Amino acid sequence: MAKTPIESLTILTDIVLPGESNPLGNLFGGELLARMDRACSIAARRHSHAIVVTASVNHVAFNNAIPVGSVVTIEAKVSRAFKSSMEIYVDVWIEDRKSQKRSKVNEGIYTFVAVDQSGKPITIPQLTPETALEKERYEGALRRKQLSLILSGKMKPADADELRKLFIG
């Protein structure tokens, strides 16, 4: 039976400590990637109820630095399910100490694959998007999957029919 994105929603809130920072006093990029990967992994597991592995980090935009002491919230949700793979969107927020107002600082897109005990890909439930944003992310996911497969040498550009539509309409 198809599942909805909210069923996989995973929220991780944590603080940035000095040992996790770069020389400018901001969160080290690799540390943020690891936190995002962890949240995405839980979201993928919640969707598939299976063992999941990271297949690809499709995109990460470090748009804003995150200073030491920040409270960081990472929200991950499955944006589309294919046969065994899932695209996970992850949004990163920080909150202002005084106003508690949240601002979005970074986002990323990961691909996870559900596997059996021997690491072989298995079939997963499909996903039905509900909100406008979930529908937008769902629509673009096949293009992003094809791009990721091309970049990893697993697909020929000539076979990327959905991606080609972006350029030739």
Ligand X SMILES: CC(C)(COP(=O)(O)OP(=O)(O)OC[C@H]1O[C@@H](n2cnc3c(N)ncnc32)[C@H](O)[C@@H]1OP(=O)(O)O)[C@@H](O)C(=O)NCCC(=O)NCCS
- Which residues of this protein are in contact with ligand X, per CB under 6 A? 53-56, 82-85, 111, 113, 115, 119, 121, 145, 148-149, 152, 154
Closer by beta carbon to ligand X, 21 or else 146:
146
Task: Please report, for residues 7, 104, 106, the alpha-carbon distance to residue 129 in angstroms, rounded to integers and kept in the order given.
Answer: 11, 22, 22
Interhelix angle 132-151/161-168, nearest 10 degrees: 110
Q: Which is nearer to ligand X, 92 or 114 (CB)?
A: 114
Tokens of 91: 């949004």
Minimum distance of ligand X from residue 29's CB (angstroms): 17
Tell me how far, at minimum, the Cβ of 14 lies from ligand X, in Å: 21
Beta carbon nearer to ligand X, 56 or 70: 56
Identify whether the C-beta of residue 75 lies closer than 8 Å to the C-beta of residue 91: yes
CB of 99 to ligand X, least distance (A): 38
Instruction: Round to whole Å and give the CA distance between 17 and 1.
Output: 42
